[in-house]
């Protein structure tokens, strides 16, 4: 939690906002925000969300600060699934034909 409070403080300072200004934007008195920032009062998610809105940041960017969370639109992760089934020889031929068709099954059977 201390990291989040430090991140809020750093973002607030970088934007040139006073603690009093930020407090007024989220409906608190400066003393109330000060208690949260010092860890004497619990930072609740709803308050964190209000702070993020006032700082024009997302909650996840406050948590990850100074990094920014970027949702990848493309996934470069390839997935491969391997299914291994042990069959008797007579069943193996039937399964190969079902899965790959008659011609492919004949090719695979020769391996």
Identify whether the C-beta of residue 5 lies closer than 8 Å to the C-beta of residue 65. no
In Å, what is the CA distance from 51 to each residue of 26, 32, 40, 57?
6, 13, 17, 8
Tens digit of each residue's pLDDT (9 = 90 or more) over 76-110: 666 777 777 777 877 777 776 777 777 665 666 55
Calculate mean pLDDT across residues 72-79: 65
Q: What is the pLDDT of residue 68?
A: 84
- Give this prediction's pTM: 0.63
Whole-number Å distance between alpha carbons of 39 and 1: 8
């Amino acid at each position: 939690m201390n990291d989040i409070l430090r991140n809020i403080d750093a973002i607030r300072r970088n934007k040139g906002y006073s603690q009093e200004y930020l407090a007024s934007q989220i409906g608190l008195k400066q003393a109330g925000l000060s208690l949260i920032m010092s860890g004497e009062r619990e930072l609740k998610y709803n308050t964190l969300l209000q702070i993020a809105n006032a700082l024009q940041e997302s909650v996840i960017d406050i948590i990850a600060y100074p990094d920014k969370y970027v949702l990848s639109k493309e996934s470069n992760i390839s997935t491969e699934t391997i299914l291994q089934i042990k069959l008797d020889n007579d069943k193996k031929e039937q399964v190969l034909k079902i899965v790959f068709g008659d011609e492919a099954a004949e090719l695979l059977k020769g391996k």
